[in-house]
Structure 1
Amino acid sequence: MKIVKQTFLVATLALATISCKNDKETSTEAIVVETETIATENPKTITANPQTASFEIEGMTCQIGCASLIEGKLKKLDGVTEAKVDFETKTATVTYDADKLNQEKLTKTVEGVAGGDLYKVSKVKS
């Protein structure tokens, strides 16, 4: 009976050691796959020619309907890496790839929101 218990103990330890080793390999593979997925899902994080523009937006009347809407439109532009519209100060700050966008395109995008009659961009700075 003593030999059976010892054999069982050795087999259990061997199984635990093997399964722990496999868990570590799986975890490493999962991290690599997750990192690759993040890099391919968010290609906007790398820009060849980064620029930042800030400007005032006239015509905003509310945080959710105006500022958030404009911010969302700016973020969707190809080449924009970051966009922030501050309702309190009526300003926008946009970081973008100058090889893909320019200030004129940013201005036209903001002024074109909601049919083009509500918002006016002024005091554009780089």
Structure 2
Amino acid sequence: MKTLQNLLAIVFISVAMIACKTDKEPEVKTVESKTEINTNAAKKLDPNATYAKAEFGIEGMTCAMGCAKTIEKKIAKMDGVKSAKVDFDKELAMVEYDEAMVTPQTLEEAVAKAGETYKVKDMKTVTSFSDEKHDCEANCTKACCAAKTEDTKKMACADDCKKECCAKKA
């Protein structure tokens, strides 16, 4: 019994000596990190700037939450971009940007940086975004028309439609 007590006393003293350090200074480790804080709220947009609107198709997206949102966030974080929206169903991106800071080529590069599989097609500058679905002509090659069948392409334009394809028919 006495040996057990002596052994326990030695173990206790050893643990106490190892656990109690005489150094009172904490160990300092330096870790380098790259922080990029660039949100829409933090961005400064020039109220006197000339803003252009661009619409373009994006090929290679496989899901709305992963692909489309990733591309949308990547474009929206760019300096000079006022707004960005990527519609997965239409495979269409709509971006409003400062012409002095952003070019169509930089938008295309941002999409490419979001993922290797994404490809920009049919980029054009527009005066207003096409928010509503429109009827496709038989020879339409836009991303929103590509998946439509022959029956849906033959649909007539609405009476109040102001799209170019319908304006010619009136």
Give the direction of change, closer, same or farther, for the CA distance of 1:120–1:92 in structure 2 (3 Å limit).
same
Query: In the alignment, residue 98 of structure 1 is paired with which amino acid?
Result: E
Q: Which has the higher contact order (CA 8 A, sep 6+)?
A: 1
**CA RMSD between the two structures:** 1.7
Matched, 1:105 2:106: yes
- The unaligned stretches of length 5 or more in structure 1 are 1-39
- Of all paired residues, the percent bearing the same amino acid is 40
Higher helix proportion, which one? 1
Residue 44 of structure 1 aligns to a residue in which SS? coil
Q: Is the 8 A contact 1:45 1:81 kept in 2?
A: no
Q: 1: distance between equivalents of 2:82 and 2:64? A: 21
Give the direction of change, closer, same or farther, for the CA distance of 1:110–1:47 in structure 2 (3 Å limit).
farther
Match of 2:156 in 1: none
> Shift of residue 112 of structure 1?
1.6
Residue 43 of structure 1 aligns to a residue in which SS? coil
> Shift of residue 44 of structure 1?
2.8
Compare 62-71 and 41-50 and name the one that shifted more.
Answer: 41-50
TM-score normalised by structure 1 residue count: 0.63
Give the direction of change, closer, same or farther, for the CA distance of 1:47–1:78 in structure 2 (3 Å limit).
farther
- The unaligned stretches of length 5 or more in structure 2 are 1-40, 126-170
Matched, 1:66 2:67: yes
Moved runs in structure 1, 4+ residues, more than 6 A?
none
Could you say which structure has the larger radius of gyration? 2
Query: In the alignment, residue 123 of structure 2 is paired with which amino acid?
Result: V
